[in-house]
């Protein structure tokens, strides 16, 4: 999804049109970043509503507040890797590379989170993994701190901001 916002459009030859208009490249990248955030927020709300509704149907109700917090953590984790893919796509123009980096690193972090329960060295670095907060620490049973969500959101913004100058200097392929 995030790959298609810049690198995918460039690969299809559709990025030249928006750049012909009086819109700066940083503004275009900011708009794409906000579009990604809006899409992920919508998916997070669908995750919340679907999980809550199924809990009601199968008479296994989950606390709505905890479920909303957990959905926010999952959305924030997805944001980190989606923003990373958007940044790589904007910086390089290579949709395949952007997709591989974003999705590959996202999946690798889930695997590392799973292995960290058994590998002591990974337990010490678990705080660096955004999935630790969404998948660990029983977020449906315990209150969730707002800090992991804020850190994930800021990390995504930093990724895209770092790609901004590279996107501004590179030639768009046709």
**24-51 pLDDT, tens per residue?**
878 888 988 999 999 999 999 999 999 9
Round to whole Å and give the CA distance between 130 and 139.
13
Cβ atoms of residues 52 and 64 within 8 Å: yes
Round to whole Å and give the CA distance between 30 and 27.
5
Helix orientation angle between 64-92 and 25-57, rounded to the nearest 10 degrees: 150
Round to whole Å and give the CA distance between 12 and 123.
43
**Global pTM exceeds 0.75:** yes
> According to DSSP H, which parts of 58-146 are helical?
64-92, 95-115, 120-124, 130-135
φ/ψ of residue 22, rounded to 5:
-75, 60
The mean of the pLDDT values for the chain is: 84
């Amino acid at each position: 999804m995030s790959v298609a916002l810049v690198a995918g459009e460039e690969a299809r030859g559709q990025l030249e049109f928006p750049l012909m208009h009086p819109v700066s490249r940083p503004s275009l990248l900011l708009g794409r970043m906000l579009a990604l955030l809006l899409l992920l927020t919508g998916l997070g709300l669908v995750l919340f509503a679907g999980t809550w509704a199924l809990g009601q149907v199968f008479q296994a109700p989950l606390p709505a507040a905890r479920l909303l917090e957990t959905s926010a953590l999952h959305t924030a984790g997805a944001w980190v890797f989606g923003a990373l893919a958007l940044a790589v796509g904007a910086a390089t123009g290579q949709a395949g590379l952007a997709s591989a980096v974003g999705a590959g690193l996202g999946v690798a972090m889930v695997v590392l989170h799973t292995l960290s329960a058994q590998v002591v060295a990974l337990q010490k670095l678990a705080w660096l993994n955004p999935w630790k907060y969404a998948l660990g620490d029983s977020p449906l049973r315990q209150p969730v701190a707002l800090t992991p969500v804020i850190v994930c959101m800021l990390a995504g913004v930093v990724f895209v901001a770092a790609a901004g100058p590279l996107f501004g200097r590179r030639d768009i392929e046709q």
